[in-house]
Amino acid sequence: MIQIPDSEILLAIRQGNERVYETIFRKHYQALCNYACGILKDMDDAEEVAQSIFLKLWEQREGIEINVSLKSYLYRAVHNTCLNRLKHLKIQETYRQYVGDYLEETFDSATEIMDKNELENRISNALEKLPEQCKIIFKMSRFEELKYQEIADKLGLSIKTVENQIGKALRIMRTELADYLPIIFLLLLK
């Protein structure tokens, strides 16, 4: 796979190259949404934020000056927008546990955001590594927020099986992430 340097990507976008713009959108969108969801706790809001970042990138493409990598830039923009949104929603207390001092703090370097992102990648990987049925059932519970009974009904299984599968998912992921969980802890306490 050929890697195009960021400077060329930015130049293309600045010149209004929609195809390049679409490529970076498709490349980063999912991950940026995941990142935003981590702060906002809601995927719909997260998508809105990610979209607004890309929209601004396009609208202001001519005047844009990026000194960090494109990826860092996008994450930082998403990060700031999310915090801003939280302030507006005045739900600081609810998220203080997770976000902690992030509300007052601004990242000094793009690398701080990147480190946290590595973590997110691992969680994503761990999730994908789950056995098929286990993964499906876990996702139905966690993402679609279905009750155990609803999942059991939908898949024609017993509740016991659903319980086992989700428990198994939890155990597998916890084991996968064992090395990194202490890090998550540190980030939370910061």
Partner 1 sequence: MEKYLNKTMNNEQTIDDLLAKYLANETDTHESDTISEWIITSEDNQKTFDHSKMVWDGAKNHQKVDVDVAWTKLNITKKKEVELIDIQEVKPVIKLNWLNDFLKIAAVLVFLFGLWFVAARQFTIPQNDVLTFKSGNKSIEKILPDGTKILLSKNSEITYSKAFVGDTREINLTGEGFFEVHHDAAHPFIIHTQGTEVKVLGTSFNVRAYNAQVQVIIKTGKVQFSKNNDEVILTKGQKGEILANVDTIIKSEVIEVETVTKEKLSSFVFNKMSLSKVAESLSKRFNKDIKFSQDKIKNCELTATFENEKLENIIAVIAETFNLKVDNQVDMIILSGDGCD
Stretch that binds partner 1, among 1-9, 21-29, 110-118 (CB under 8 A): 21-29
Nearest to 161 by CA among 153, 169, 152, 170: 152
Q: Which of 127, 136, 155, 157 binds partner 1 (CB under 8 A)?
A: 127
Sign of CA dihedral 34, 38, 40, 44: positive
For partner 1 (CB under 8 A), the number of binding residues is 63
The DSSP 8-state label assigned to residue 60 in this structure reads T
Nearest-approach distance from CB 126 to partner 1, in angstroms: 8
Closest residue by Cα to residue 184 from 112, 116, 84: 116
- On the CB side of 127, CA atoms within 13 Å amount to 13
Residue 3 gets which letter from DSSP? P
E-assigned strands of the chain? none
Q: Rounded to whole angstroms, how far apart are CA atoms 185 and 190?
A: 9
Site for partner 1 contains 103 (CB under 8 A):
no
Please, which of residues 59-98 interact with partner 1 by CB under 8 A? Answer: 59-60, 63-64, 76-77, 80-81, 84, 88, 98
Least spacing, CB of residue 7 vs partner 1, in Å:
17
Binding interface with partner 1 (CB under 8 A):
15-16, 18, 22, 25-26, 29-30, 33-35, 37-38, 41, 43, 47, 50-51, 53-60, 63-64, 76-77, 80-81, 84, 88, 98, 120, 123-124, 126-127, 138, 141-143, 147-148, 160, 163-164, 166-171, 173-174, 177-178, 181, 184-185, 188
